[in-house]
């Protein structure tokens, strides 16, 4: 394995996933970084939207050498929602 692969930063993306609404839509909201929301017809679709947003946002901060404005502790998972922890490699 090359040195560059060993130094790939990994960040935890904490996501709160709302149950399906009346129209069958699902909303996934990042709980540890403000303003990132994905929507889809399924949890998988909603996560497929929000994870790239998280990766792009964290990547911009990391590349610029800026502190990442984490929400710490992450926003509480509302009753009836599911919480997902996703490891994201830059």
pTM of the model: 0.89
SS3 call for 1: coil
Using the structure block, give the residue that is written with the tokens 């399906």: 20
73 φ, ψ to 5°? -75, 160
Output the pLDDT for position 1.
46
88 in Cβ contact with 48 (< 8 Å): no
- Domains of the chain with bracketed CATH: 3-89 (3.30.160)
pLDDT by residue (tens digit) across 71-86?
Answer: 999 999 999 999 999 9
pLDDT by residue (tens digit) across 22-77?
Answer: 899 999 999 999 999 999 999 999 999 999 999 999 999 999 999 999 999 999 99
E strand residue ranges, the chain:
10-17, 26-30, 37-40, 82-89
């Amino acid at each position: 394995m090359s040195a560059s692969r060993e130094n790939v930063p990994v960040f935890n993306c904490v996501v709160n996933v709302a149950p399906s609404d009346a129209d069958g839509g699902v909303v996934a909201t990042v709980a540890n970084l403000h303003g990132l929301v994905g929507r889809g017809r399924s949890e998988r679709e909603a996560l497929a939207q929000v994870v790239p947003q998280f990766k792009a946002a964290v990547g911009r901060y990391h590349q610029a050498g800026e502190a990442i404005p984490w929400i710490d502790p992450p926003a509480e998972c509302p009753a009836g929602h599911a919480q997902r922890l996703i490891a994201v490699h830059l």
